[in-house]
Structure formats: structure tokens, C-alpha cells
Structure 1
Amino acid sequence: MSATASAQVIAAAADAPDDSAAVDPTSEIIVTGTRRTDRTVTESAVPVDVFTAKDLSVQASPSLQTILKNLVPSFNQQRNAGADGSAFVRPPTLRGLPPDQILVLINGKRMHRSALVQVAGDSLSAGSQGPDLSQIPAVALGRIEVLRDGAAAQYGSDAIAGVINLGLRTNDSGYEVNARYGQTYEGDGKDIQVSANAGFKLGEGFVNLSAEFNDQGLFNRALDRPDAAPLRAAGIDVPSPSTRYGQPESRSYRFVINSAIPVGDKDEVYFFGNYGFAKQEVDFNYRRPFAVSVTPGAAAVPGAVPAASFTLGESIGPIYLDTIPGLRTASGAPVYNANGRIFRGSTFFPNGFTPLFKSDNEDYSGVIGYRGETAFGMNFDFSAGTGRNRISYDMTNTLNPSLGPQSPTSFFLGRLEQRETNINLDLSYPVEVGFFSPLNIAGGLEFRRETYAVGIGDPASYAIGPYASQTVQRTDGTRFVVNAALGANGFPGYSPDAATENSRTSYSAYVDLEADVAQDFTIGIAGRYDHFSDFGGTVNGKVSARWAIDPAIAVRGAVSTGFRAPTPGQSATANVQTAFPNGSVVPVAVATVRADSVTGIYFGSQPLDPEKSLSFSGGFVLTPGSGFTGTFDYYNIAVRSRIAITSSFNVTPADRVALAALGVVNAADLGQVNYFTNGFKTKTQGVDAVLSHRASVSAGVFNTSLAVNYNSTDVTERTIPAAIDVRRSLNIEGLSPKWRGVLAESWTSGMFDATARLNYYGSITSYNDNPNAAWVINPASIQEFGADWSFDLEVGVTFDERFRVAAGAENLFNRYPDRDVRNLFSQTGAAANGRIYNDASPLSYMGGFWYLRASAKF
């Protein structure tokens, strides 16, 4: 739902000056978390962070998610390397809650979700579906507001963790061009970014255009797999390392437009939108051409837990090609000759192969609206918007084993699509009722239509070929059965059974009251009703208050209820991928199935219900003067009926027989199964502390900020223990750092400037194996990754007030997180898949990254 504000306030907010020396963000008007048009950051009854274009311009990374991670301590994201689509659309978290509990607005209007449901995300984000923040380039933003408080009663579903409002630039003149080149200290991960912004007058209004091109190279932090050495000894040309993990290759183009034209004295018509396209690629695990045996021996890393000895079979094959004439099984299937011709993966790929998983991500949105003020002083904002995200997948350098020698080696796997339409009417009117300030009465209506669609891939990408299941007879007359993997090896394409188009319509109405009932006391009350075509109605409310004890100190607090309905994507997602679950030495097929599918019901699935939440927050604001401000806020968020993807069920031979009897065509190929469920309850609590100081002295202007977050999540109940196992709940609690801090200093003096940032990350704990029923945990399955820090630095020089050049480094001292020491092999010092770092590490395992940048303004 829109964040209603007058056109003048929105324009002033989004078009703040670029020079942070002239701007104190704490004194700026905010439009998030309130529907009044006269509130500043320190006057807000709930915590709101404001970041200007200057804050964004000195960040090392062009990615908006990484920028937010540096600026907001309770905002986090994991890398998810090699985790199918999650490697491309990285899921963020805020205050220990997943991305689909974060509401993202653009100019106060809801941003549509990504088409990707995070099937392969981390423990906290697995199963979530939120917006793709990378679609909006930083150059298009005039400012960002982050509301760190539950706001479902004000803005609707998804606002349990908070709200991120992206304010687009509104300048009506001038040109800006930026270029940046960087790479890691290791010499990989090259990153080229070129961006531009231009403002033009449009009659009495404006049009602002932004564009960005980004070419991101791969960096790799994996070591060899243990099967690589014996393969090379046998003359096989195995890549080194055999499987790459790190940052995928990506090339993206982003465009944003923002415009408004006045109509009369107080009204205006506005339009804004975006278009983005990205091509990305990642490895999907090397496949061996034949079987090898590996004996780990002594651990190669101090404190490491060695893996067991094992034999790895060939990845694809053998597949028997010759039938025995006249012989048939009882079901009428042909019988194959064990001594006849054989097809293997090595027939196509003598040195083995690594499937390449490719993504084309196309995103667009547009919002048009009319806003202003009536003759009697009521503000209004009527808008309509639409958005679509489409992700198409391809796989090359692989095959469909069940098709044997008739298999192609490249496949179109299908596409995912998310479409949303929103129509909003927002009204606000100040009424004199005898309080110190007018009572601001706001209300509105919303219509939403959202659709999630899955399009099928090439028939060969999902085909159940003639060699899917073979009965083979030896010379002595004995028989055995050989099952070949189905579909494109690595990621079977979306079949007609997976294809879907699932839609939902919702209607909403809200009322929001706020006033200074006394000179130093503000109170706000909000209520909202939502009705979903598939889940019925819900009512939520919020009460907030602020009391200024004296000019230097104020206390504030809020209590609210919230909800989040399952997305159409969560109700309809089904796919299969290969993975190395729980340190497995052999990749297995992991299937995500619909809750209403035969497989899902077999493993205990139930219909999805909406999540419900109850949030409390309270704190105080210090404004002692002399450039100092400070805010301290405690929060407590209880969420029941949490929607998430289940822990994976291991599929036993008996399960495969039973599923096949129920008509599940790929039953023989399944290794693990999961689905979406309302499986558990959580309580998340923490403290945010933000201190800032601004000083102008003879040496220049200094802006100092310290932001600290403590966050703890407890799984208070596993409502479906078989679906959300103990290991999963422990990882939800343990794989996010409890402590996070950012100390930043910026300095400007004449033509010189510098920005330094110290990041602190608390420790995390990973649980690799599931404890037994008595919660007795195998110590060898646990690893604590210690607290860590990184330091960023950028120095710049500005010439002629228009041209700036700068050099900087992200993670200047080249620090890496602790290595994973579980299930290691002496030959490589890595796990079976070659990985040495935990994806959940808040400190990136990219290492140090240097860059040069230049900008020009005209």
C-alpha cells in the first residue's frame, strides 16, 4: 500500500543534496512509517534509518543488497554459491527474518516479488519469495528509508520485519556519469560498472533517467574434489578445481525512469518504472567418467573431522542399448543384453563434464498516479501499477541419461514468472480536535492481483526416456534392474506436470490516525482489513507512541499484529535439483513438491495457512546537541505458523516402490523430498543502537556513525516435527550472527574526501547432522565459526567541483572466514564437493577487493 505524502514532501525527500557535508539525515522529513508530512527521523515513534545518495555513492559494491548490508547492521545476506537460482537472486534477511517478511517499496509503492522461490536458500530463507533488490541500481536512488518495525497494519502483508522504501531521484537538470573497475586480491572476480543519471524538465515538471551496466566475473574459492587426483592419474583432463564455488558470472543492464508533471497549483501526475535484464551462469558440479576409490587418510587441516573411505561410481551409466530378441518382462518391457553395446556419459564427455546452469532474468514495472490536495485540504493519491519478473533457465554441457545416445547436450529448462497488479487510493486529512497538533486521519483502499506461472522446458529436458528403467539379463539368465536419471542431468526441466499458473486476488482497507495530543506526546493508531481470495480475511492493528521527556531525550514504543499469506509461488513450486546434502559424498536428486501432490501427501504435507505475528518495540532517542544523536530500540517479534520449506525426507527403497505404485513417474530417481509447510513458531528479539555525530572544524567536515545490532531467534515450537527437524531448527537459531556492528567515518575537506568503515560480525554455529530423538547431538557435527571483522576504505579527489576520482578497497586487510573442518579429505583439505567455506558466513569468502572509480557531473 502506498506511503501517502504530498508531492512536495516526496520530491524533497528523494532529491536530497549529494554532499553529505551539507545534510544531516536525522533532520530530514520521512515518509515511511507515518502518513504525516512533518516528521523527521528523530521525531518518529518507530526507528527509521535514512541514507542519502552520498551514502550510496561511496559503497564498494554496486549491489543494493550489499550496500544495505554495510549500512544496516540487522540486514544480512548469504552467498548460496551453487544453489541453483539462489546463486543469482540472493535472499536478504532483516532483524533475523526472511526476505518475504520484508516489504520493499519504490517511491512508497509496493515492489513486485522475484519469480524465484528460494528452494535452495539458507536455513532461514529456504522457501521464501521476496523482491529482487538488485533490480534497482544505486545511481537511480536519491535516498533509502529503512523502517525497522512491524508495519503490516499500515502497509499490508510482508511487513513483519520492516519496510525498505527506495526513493528515486527527482532532479530535473544535470548529467552524471560513473565508472568503476575492481577485482579481488586473488586476481579473479573482476567487476566493471558503468552508470549514468540525467534530469530534464518536462514542462513544469521533470523526468529523471538512470541506467547501469554491470559485468561481473566469477571468483572461485573451492579446492579440488577428492576424486580428481585418481581421475587425473588415469589420464582424464579434470578441471582444477573440478567444481567452482563463489560468485557466478553475470552481465546486467538496468534502466529506471521517474517523472512528474504538475496539474494546477497543488496536483500532479506522476510515473516511474524500471527495466532490467541479467544473464548469469554457474557451475553445477563436475561428473566423473568412471568409478574411483578414495581413502581420506589423516585430516589435512588442524581440528578437521575426516570423512570415511568410499567408492564413487561413474556419474552416468552404464546404459544398455541392445535388447534380447523375443524376451519381455511380465509387464511387457524389453529385456536388455548385459553383454551388448553400452552407452555411458563418457561416450559424449570422455573427460567427464560439468553442467553449466544459466539464467536470463528479465524484470520490469511501471506505476502511474495522480496526487495532490483538494480545495478543503485533503491529500489524495490514486495510483495503478504493474510489474513482472521472468526467469528463464538453460543448461549446457550435460545430457538426459534416460535418452541415452539420443540425448541432446543443451536444454531449455523452462521459465518462472511473477506478475503483480496493484491499484491504490490513499487519503489523508488533518482535523483540529483540540490536540496540540491536528489529528491526521489517513485511510485507503487497495486491490491486488498476483500470478505465479511456471512454463515448461524442452521435451528432452524432462523426458522419461526409453532407458529410464531397464531389465538387464546376464549370460547365465539372471537379471538385474538399472535405473537412469531422468531429465537434464543437474536440473531436470519443468515438465507439464510442474507447469502451472496460480493467481490470487486481494482487497484491503486501512485507517491510520496520528496526532500530538500534547506538545511532547504523540500517539498513532492504525488498523487494516485484508481479504484474500484463497485464504479469507484478516484484521491487524498497531499502536505507537512517543514522549519527549525534554528536548534532549524522548522515549518511544509500538505494538502491532501482522500476517503474511502464502504466496502463489509457495503454493505452486515444484522442481528437482542435484545437491550434496549434509556433507554427502554423492550428489542426489532433491525434489521440491507441491503440498497437494501425491508425493507431498505421502510424506505428510498439509494445506498452507497464513503466518501470524505479534511485535513489540520500545526505546529512546537522544538529541543532546553539538551534532550528536542516538537511538536505542528493543524489539520482540513472535511469528506462528511460519511458512518454510521442510527439512528433506530421505527417500528409502520402500518409499520408491510405494510412490511408483501411486503413479509417481520419477520415484526411482528420488533421493530426498521436501515441500512447503506451516511447520514451526519462532521468537526473535534484539536491540538496535545507532549513534551519530556531525562536526565541522577547520580540518573539514566529519560524519561519524556507530550502528550495533543484537539479534537472537529461537524456534519455540516445531508444530510438525517430522517436517522441520531438530537440525533445521538449530541452524535457524545458529547460522545468523547474534552481534553485528558498523563503525563508519566520512571526511570532506575542500577537494579531498575519505570514507572508512569497520564491520564486525559475531560468531555463528552450524549443525551438520540431525540429533537423535533425545536431542543428543554428535559433537563432530557441530562447528562454531568465530567472530570476525573487515575494514573498507575509499579516498577521493574532486576537481573543478565536477570530476571525482577515487580508489578504494572492500575488506582491505584480505580477511577470510573460518574454514569448514568437517568431512575433509587429506588429498585436498576440502569436503567431497571441494568447498571450504560455509555459505552462511556473514563475512564474505571473496577476500579483499580493490577498485578504482571516476565520476563526472555536468
Structure 2
Amino acid sequence: MRGGCNERTNLRRGERSGWRGLRSESSKPRLCDGEVRRFISKGPDVISTRVKFDRIAAVSLSALAIASLGDAASAQTTSATAAADERAGGDAIIVTGTRRTDRTVTESAVPVDVFTTQDLATQPSPSLQTILKNLVPSFNQQRNAGADGSAFVRPPTLRGLPPDQILVLINGKRMHRSALVQVAGDSLSAGSQGADLSQIPSVSLGRIEVLRDGAAAQYGSDAIAGVINLGLRTNDSGYELNARYGQTYRGDGKDIQVSGNAGFKLGEGFINISGEFVDQGLFDRAVDRPDSAALRALGVDVPSPPTRYGQPESTTYRFVINSAVPVGDKDEVYFFGNYGYADQEVDFNYRRPIAVTVPGASPAPGQPFAPSQTFGRSHSTIYLDTIPGLFNAQGRPVYSATGATFERSSLYPEGYVPLFLSTNEDVAGVIGYRGETESGIRFDVSAASGRNRIRYNMTSTLNPSLGPTSPTEFYLGTLEQRETNLNLDVSKPVEVGFASPLNIAAGLEFRRESYVVGLGDEASWTAGPYAVQTVQRADGTRFQTTAGIGADGFPGYGPSSVTDTSRNSYSAYLDLEADIVESFTLGVAARYDNFSDFGGTFNGKVSARWAVNDAFALRGAGSTGFRAPTPGQAATANVQTGFPNNSPVPVATATVTPGSTTALYFGSEPLKPEKSVSFSGGVVVTPGGGFNLTVDYYNITVRDRISITSPFVVTAGDQAALFAQGVSNAFDLGQVTYYTNGFKTRTQGVDAVASHRASTDFGTFNTSLAINYNQTRVIERTRPEAINLQRAANIEGLTPKFRGVLAETWNLGMFDATGRVNYFGTITSYNSNDVSATAFTTQKFGADVSFDLEVGITFAERFRVAAGGENLFNRYPDRDLRNIYAQTGASAAGRLYNDASPLSYMGGFWYVRGQVKF
């Protein structure tokens, strides 16, 4: 019955609607006999409940408008006013943080942010992480330019906690982790391994829910900071095509994005397909290095700047599919998945062919510049001729100091910059069957599999220990994360005499997680014949030289790094929630998890909400949480070369596994799970007139935090001792790190979110203001020798305490505009050239504001063109003033800005975009 009030038709469409909730076959919501049954895909299960019309009348229009956003492409026309209506979000039905089907944003006992397709459409960046940074003030990410794999997979943080304490769901199902363990991440994220949000294109999303509360007892490991639930679009008709071009004010960083979405009927079900292509160019904010002028004066043709720092070059393809087909009246089969492929590249540090002397640096702002210092050449001489019949104490040949030699300058007379290449492939799929039994029990059975594989290559470099036989291009190996999840979730509302039915939900989960490191080319990791040489002079005296082992810049993964590590876990949960009386809601959740490598853990959560009156409510929650060490953290090993603490010379830092010879030498201990205790409490104010306000306090204590250690400085004695224990690259090492449970933190903060919607003769105005105050303290260094004071100080100081986002969207007929002001609070960086020091030079980076603006016009209700600017007034963060050289105004590497700056150092960015809908 097209457009009619057929209950069975409505129920079937509601069951398969997922995020959009109930729709009749017409484009307008219909109610039958004063009541409606909703079937909504929520979290890990499907729940239905019969809701009286008089309870939903006040919220039905705005809730259905938001829940049906996934059908935007199926509508033949979408006006700017309708788009504004879709964002009237205070009464949006939520599916994250609760397993009931009738909870709205303002009725939730915990803070949940809901963002729609229109919120995403006006964002200037194609990156989901950058979009979330603009929408959620407690969500941050750093640039990490030139930081190995972290330059490609940027680690986000939420509420001052690292990425592996953020659980990411897609359609309520756990998203797999990235294969990258953040060895080179910032102080807060270093050592973490979380999901790669950039794999999901924003065009595929109908809605995002961000739960800002601990939820390990509900969803399992990683949900200490909160949960990000990505809801895929469900429209079963219509086509949408988007194109965008932009670049920075300086003319670099070109960014081309083409994306599309299409919906099709699949019997009585649907299939929705999204695709995205992004061609992202490099932007470079480096300057010349202090040694460049001296090198050029000696005839070396040094590039200017020698090393590029900024945004990597990237070419990306992403695809997402979402589908569901009804089976009978109440059941459905569903499937969704994604595929992503990205080629990326970034510079490593410039290598000098010869030594030069330059004026010294100023160690801190206001301090005098140091005397002249020598920047040594980036290599040692390799001696090629052996002396017949002579051997050292280890039985190796002795080389002649007067014979033939090899210098890297014979391959690279102007020096060289190793080029680091990454290929990132991501694939995942979820299939499931959900519905309701005759007895009213809702069930959801699903199987999920995901894999992320990162392949590394390097060009324009060499393996110094191979001397003249070294290749200049290397395959370095692969990192791979594999995950398989099997879930059974059931629920049923039961009348027990409360004001609402008691919703009982329970479930079982099996999870297998594997981490694989694949072998690189032998030349990329092998210790060649010139790694350690005993050399004899003409007078008979001897000396020893060493040459770098493996590809210079990033040695490949050798036999000692190769691993295939897996673990299994089994979980069971119970979740109860009900309105005890009309004004008081209580929820209790408990979960047991058992890991094959770390044993069992039990966690619980209690949440409550009291509606004092129609306009004011109190809410709060308390929970425990956990996070088990990932197989990747237990198995990661690599070597990277950088400039720690703005060192004037590159230093090789090896990250080794906790059970390795090197880690044990420096005091490593077996890893154990993190444990957390979280409390939150707040108020919800809904006085009417389109105004909503929520203010929530949170307090999160995490003990036994897993992180990469502070670097251990490797002395000459350490090198000799490690070499004697069989560590072949011992003489290559300048610093060593490994994973450990090293410290305990307390994170406290306040989130305030206000929104207002007004319809006037001058158009519709949607205003939102979100403010976050966040402070993290390292309250105990359980292993002070592994987590030094500098590291602890930077964990506390390099996250802004204040963040705010004020956004205004205006619509009038065919015209629309969106303005956004981002406020970033101050950060403080602690620095020392001695990693064991207890006193530091510090620099405070000032607060800053950036402004975004987009204006658009819609023709014939299906064609839209827009122009906009990100960081419209071209603001840059404060420059880093530590270890600065007078002749360049920058560090030894030529860098101007601190990667921890919350304001990007890209500068202003303009773009134009177009959209077509059919």
C-alpha cells in the first residue's frame, strides 16, 4: 500500500532501516493507530519496542528528520531548509551508550554527540579525523611530519587519552586496528595502536555518534576514552556526486577529492555504495638548514630546503558498501564492508656528504647562541682492501688504512634525502542475521573480518654496511593487522512494574587478533661485511670503524623482527536499563573478558539520569575499564633515525620487543593490561525554543598505562656489551626504547555543548558551541627509569587544556553559509638534550584561533556549488624557539613548528566544491 498505513510494510522497512529508523514508502513519516514500532540497529544488537504516540509526539519530527538522513540521496530534491531541519539534533534517537531504542541525545545518561551528513558536508577537509577535530573539541590530532609511519597514519586523541583507548565502531560493530603501532607518535600517543579512521570516507556516512564516556563494560577493550560509532548510509535510491579542489594560500598542498554515493533496491532491501578518490599534494613548511650555506660554499649543491616537512603526498582510493535484505516480517540479513588503498611518500632527513662548521644554536628562548660547532658528515669511510693473513681477535679480516676506500659521496656527491614510501591497504566485511523470535526476543548474530596491511619501501638511500655493492632502493617489509569477531547479541524488554519495561540485553563474543611482520629484502636489513671493521695503519696501529646496518633511515624488517603473533579472547556481557519511575532512569552493565595471553578481567558500569522537571535533568555514570596490550605492541621492533630534542646530528633509535636481548639489558618487564576507573556527571538543560545545553564533568584514572619508554642512551660500553650478547647492530644504536607499563594518569575535564535553532524571516540559523577543558596529570611513574620526567611533563603539557568550536549555519532558499571558529588553548613543551635530566628548557606556545567559512548556492534543488576557506585568516602557530640557529631561525633539521601544535602549520587553505544529486 504505497503511502498508506500498512503496519507490516512499515515494520519491515523499519527493521532494515538501521540508522534511519521508521519510514513509510512515501518520503514522509506516518503513524498508525496512535502508535509506532521502531526497529533500530543499535550497537551490537537490534531492539524493538512499542512506544505510545503521546510519548514520542514531542520528539518524532526532529528524531525522524535526523534518523532519515541516510535517505538524502534518495530524495529527488533536498532544500537548504530541509538540510537545516536534519540538524535539529537535541532529540535525535541514539544507539551508542545504551541498548534501548527510545533514548534521545538529551535523555541519555551519558554525553553523546550526534553529527549528520550535513555536518560532514560543510567540512573543508576530506579526512574524517580532521572533520572530527572540527566537530568534537576534546578530539585532537598532530601532524607528525617526517615521523616514519605516523606521518601517514595520524594518531588521534579523545579527552586527553591515546588512540588505542578510543573504540571505533561501524554500524555498531568493532572496527579493526591499523597495522601501525605509533612508534614515532607524540608524547601522548607514542606506542599506541588504534583504528585508522581515515579509511572511511565521509560520503559513506549517514551519521556519527561520539560517546564521551568510558564504556568498556558495554563494548569491551579500548573504550576507556569513549566510543566513535560510524553509521553508514542506507538510502535505496538516488545518486550523489561530489568534486572538490583546494590548495594552501602558498600555492602548495593541492587537494583533489572526487566522491560519490548511490543507492539501489535489493528486493525489498537496499544496497548502498560509496566511493572516494583523493589526490593530496605535499605542503612544505621547512626552511634551510644551518649547514646548508656552508655546504654550498664548498660547492655542494644542497636543495633548499634540504628536507621537506609538512603534509605527505598521497593518492587514495576508498570504497564502502552497506546492504540489508528483509527475511519474513521481522528478520533481515545484512552486510557491510570497506576497501581502501593509499600510496604515500615523505622525506627523511638530509644526509651531508662532508663535514662543515657552523655557528652554534641557542638552547632556549632568550639564551645566547653557542660557539661554533661541527656538523660531521653522515657516514664513515669504508675500507675495501684486506691485509692478507691478518685477522682480529674475533677471527675477522683486518683492513688496510692505505688501500682502496668507499665513500657514500661516490653515489650521492650532493648528499641525499631518503624517500620513505608507504602502501596502505585496508579491507573489512561484516555479515549478520538479526530479527525477533515469536516470544519477543531480539537477536543479532554476526561475523566480521578485517585486515590492514602496510608495505614500506625506500629509495635514494643505501645500506652502508654493504659498501659499494649496496642497492639504492629497498623493499623494507610489511606490517599486517588481522582481526576476526563473532558476536551473538540478544535483548528483550520485560514488564517488571517500572515506569518503562526493563530492557535486558546480553551477548557473547569471540575475537581473534593477529599481528604479522613480513620480511624485507635481505639488503634492507643485513649486516654487510663492512658493518664492523678493524683497520690497520701503515705504522701497524689499529682502529675500529662501524657502518650503519640496513637501509639508511629505516632498516628493513629482518629475521629478528619477523613475527606472526595471535591471541584469542572470549567475552560475555549483561546490560540492564529501565525508567524506575517516570523521571528516573537507571542502567547497569557488566562484562567479563578472558584473553589467551593475559587472563580474565571483569568490568562494570552504572549510569543514571534524573529529570528534575521538563527543562532540567541531572545525569552521571561510574565505570571500570581495561585495555589489554595488543599483539602489535608486544611484537613491534624497528629502527628510526631522527633529531631527538633537536639534536644537531641524526640519532638511530631502536624500538625492541620487551622480551628481546636489548630490552632485557635495559630492564624490560612483561606487559600487563591497563586498568581504568571513570566517573562522569552533568546537567541537561532543555528550556525549549530550540535551545539545548549539556555540561558534563569527567574523571578518568588509568593505571599501568602501556607506552613506549623514554629513550635509553646507549653508551660505548652498552654497545660493546650488547654486541657480545649477539646484537649485530649494537654499534649502530644511539638510543633504545621498548614497551612497558610505566605510569599512572588522572585525566579530568569538562565538556559543555550548547545548540540553538531559530527560523526567522532572514532564514534558518543553527548555532552550536562546544567547549572542552581537559587536564592530564601523571600521578605516578611506576617505572621512573623507563618513563622519565621529560616524557611525563610533555604528556601533561602538549595537549591544550582549552578547546572550543563555535559554528553557525544559515539557510535561506537556495543560499547557505557555514562559519566556524576554532579556539586552541596554550601548550607547553619540555626539552632537554640529556634524556635523564631533571631540569628542562620549556616553551609555552600561545593560544590561537582559526576561522573557517563556506558559502554555497543550490540550483534546481539538485546542483550545489560552494567556495570556502579553512583557517581563512592564514594563522600559524608560534614557532619553536628551542635550539634555534641564528642564520636560519630554525632547528638543525630546518623545522619551524612543533608537531604538537593543535593549530595546523599548513596556513590558510581555499577550496571550491560542487555537488549533483539525482
TM-score (norm 2): 0.92
The CA distance in 2 between the partners of 1:748 and 1:644, in whole Å, is 47
- Rounded to whole Å, the distance in 2 between the matches of 1:3 and 1:148 is 18
The residue aligned with 1:121 is 185
2:277 is aligned with 1:213 = yes
Q: CA separation in 1, counterparts of 2:68 and 2:371?
A: 60
Write the mapping of 1:166-205 to structure 2, written as runs, cut at 5 A: 166-205=230-269
- Tell me the residue number matched to 2:6: none
Instruction: Kindly provide the CA deviation profile for residues 435-478 of structure 1, in whole angstroms up to 9, marking residues without a partner as x.
Output: 00000000000000000000010000001001111111111111
1:212 deviates by 0.2
Q: Which residue of 2 aligns with 1:423?
A: 486
Which runs of 5 or more residues in structure 2 are unaligned?
Answer: 1-41, 50-62, 73-77
1:502 to 558, 565, 583: 565
Give the residue type in structure 2 aligned to 1:240.
S
Aligned to 2:149: 85
The CA deviation string for residues 283-330 of structure 1, in whole angstroms up to 9 with x for no partner, is 01111111111123789x984764553212221331111112222223
Contact 2:362 2:882 in 1 (8 A): no
Matched residue, 2:600: 537
Deviation at 1:7, TM superposition (A): 8.4
- 1:262 and 2:322 are equivalent in the alignment: no
What's 1:785 paired with?
Answer: 845
The match for 2:445 is 382
Where in structure 2 are the equivalents of 1:363-762 lying within 5 Å?
Answer: 363-762=426-825
Secondary structure in structure 2 of the residue aligned to 1:719: coil
Asked if the contact 2:45/2:490 (under 8 Å) is kept, the reply is: yes
Q: Are positions 1:3 and 2:67 aligned together?
A: no
Task: Measure, in 2, the Cα distance between the counterparts of 1:298 and 1:503.
Answer: 49
TM-score, structure 1 as length reference: 0.98
Q: Is the 8 A contact 1:254 1:274 kept in 2?
A: yes
Secondary structure of the structure 1 residue equivalent to 2:467:
helix
What is the percentage of aligned positions where both structures have the same residue? 72
Q: Distance in 2 between matches of 1:96 and 1:801?
A: 42
Shift in Å at residue 14 of structure 1?
A: 6.4
Supply the distance in 2 between the matched residues of 1:647 and 1:422 (Cα, whole angstroms). Answer: 34
Q: How does 1:101-250 map to 2 (within 5 A)?
A: 101-250=165-314
**SS in structure 2 at match of 1:656:** helix
Tell me, in whole angstroms, the C-alpha distance in 2 between the residues paired with 1:416 and 1:238. 34
Q: Contact (CA 8 Å) 2:71, 2:234: kept in 1 or not?
A: no
For 1:482, give the aligned amino acid.
Answer: T
Q: Tell me, in whole angstroms, the C-alpha distance in 2 between the residues paired with 1:505 and 1:431.
A: 34
For each residue in 1:197-256, what CA deviation from the matched residue of structure 2 results, as whole angstroms up to 9, or x when unmatched?
000000000000000000000001111111111111111111100111100000000000
| Aligned amino acid, residue 243 of structure 1 | T
Q: State the shift of 1:263 in Å.
A: 0.5
1:360 maps to: 423
In structure 2, the CA distance between the partners of 1:13 and 1:452, relative to structure 1 (3 Å rule), is farther
Output the CA distance in 2 between the equivalents of 1:373 and 1:724: 52
Change (3 A) 1:588 1:308: farther
1:600 partner SS: helix
Q: Distance in 2 between matches of 1:130 and 1:417?
A: 13
Contact 2:100/2:503 (<8 A) preserved: yes
Give the secondary-structure state (helix, strand or coil) at the position aligned to 1:32. coil
Aligned-partner residue type, residue 648 of structure 1: P
- Comparing 306-315 with 171-180, which one deviates more in the overlay? 306-315
From the superposition, tell whether residues 40 and 770 of structure 1 become closer, same or farther in structure 2 (CA, over 3 Å): farther
Q: Distance in 1 between matches of 2:361 and 2:109?
A: 61
Deviation at 1:2, TM superposition (A): 4.5
Q: Is the 8 A contact 1:13 1:167 kept in 2?
A: no
Deviates more, 1:4-13 or 1:757-766: 4-13
Instruction: Summarize the Cα distance change of 1:127–1:302 in structure 2 as closer, same or farther, 3 Å threshold.
Output: closer
Distance in structure 1 (CA, Å) of the matches to 2:584 and 2:407: 76
Q: CA deviation at 1:489?
A: 0.3
Partner of 1:283: 347
The CA distance in 1 between the partners of 2:784 and 2:795, in whole Å, is 15
Superposed structure 1 runs of 4+ greater than 6 Å apart: 7-11, 770-773
C-alpha contact 1:14 1:141 (8 A) present in aligned 2? no
CA contact (8 A) 2:47 2:491 kept: no
Give the structure 2 partner of residue 55 of structure 1.
119
User: Are 1:838 and 2:884 matched, yes or no?
Assistant: no
Rounded Cα–Cα distance in structure 2 between residues aligned with 1:772 and 1:533:
37
- Aligned partner of residue 713 in structure 1, secondary structure: strand
Moved more, 822-831 or 685-694: 822-831
Tell me the distance in 1 between the aligned counterparts of 2:838 and 2:417. Answer: 39
Alpha-carbon offset, residue 171 of structure 1:
0.2
CA contact (8 A) 2:498 2:579 kept: yes
* TM superposition shift of 1:331: 2.3
Question: How far, CA to CA, are the matches of 1:320 and 1:310 in structure 2?
Answer: 27
Q: Retained in 2: the 8 A contact 1:7–1:372? A: no
Residue 494 of structure 1 deviates from its aligned partner by: 0.1
Instruction: Report matched runs for 1:276-355 at 5 Å.
Output: 276-296=340-360, 303=366, 306=369, 309-355=372-418
1:15 is aligned to: 70
SS in 2 for 1:822: coil
Q: Distance in 2 between matches of 1:767 and 1:751?
A: 51
Question: Conserved in 2, the CA contact under 8 Å of 1:95 and 1:711?
Answer: yes
SS of aligned partner of 1:15: helix
In the TM superposition, residue 167 of structure 1 has moved relative to its aligned partner by: 0.1
Secondary structure in 2 matching 1:658: helix
The match for 2:36 is: none
Cα distance per residue 1:32-65 (max 9 Å; x no partner)? 0000011110000000000000000000000000
1:729–1:808 distance in 2 versus 1, CA, 3 Å: same
The match for 1:815 among 854, 864, 875 is 875
Query: Structure 1, residues 113-139: CA drift from partner, whole Å, max 9, x if none?
Result: 000000000000000000000000000
Counterparts of 2:493 and 2:439, CA distance in 1: 10
2:858 counterpart (798, 804, 822):
798
- Determine the C-alpha separation between the residues in 1 that align with 2:479 and 2:43: 27
Please report how far the alpha carbon of residue 333 of structure 1 lies from its aligned counterpart in structure 2 after TM superposition: 1.3
Residue 67 to residue 772, structure 1, CA distance change in 2 (3 Å)? closer
Q: Which runs of 5+ in 1 are unaligned?
A: none
Conserved 8 A contact 1:69-1:76:
yes
Aligned length: 854
State which of 333, 338, 352 in structure 2 corresponds to 1:274. 338
CA distance in 2, matches of 1:599, 1:256: 43
Letter in 2 for 1:547: W
**What do residues 182-204 of structure 1 show as CA deviations (whole Å, max 9, x unaligned)?**
00001100000000000000000
Distance 1:699 1:101 in 2: 45
Summarize the Cα distance change of 1:273–1:7 in structure 2 as closer, same or farther, 3 Å threshold: farther
CA-based RMSD: 1.6
CA contact (8 A) 1:307 1:824 kept: no
Measured at CA, do residues 16 and 703 of structure 1 come closer, stay the same or move farther in structure 2, by a change above 3 Å? farther
Moved more, 146-155 or 284-293: 284-293
Instruction: For 2:362 and 2:178, locate their aligned partners in 1 and report how far apart those are by CA, in whole Å.
Output: 46
Query: Is contact 1:398-1:410 (8 Å) kept?
Result: yes
Q: Distance in 1 between matches of 2:360 and 2:550?
A: 33
CA deviation vs aligned residue, 1:9-45 (integer Å, no higher than 9, x gap): 9994662657432221121111000000111100000
SS at match of 2:828: strand
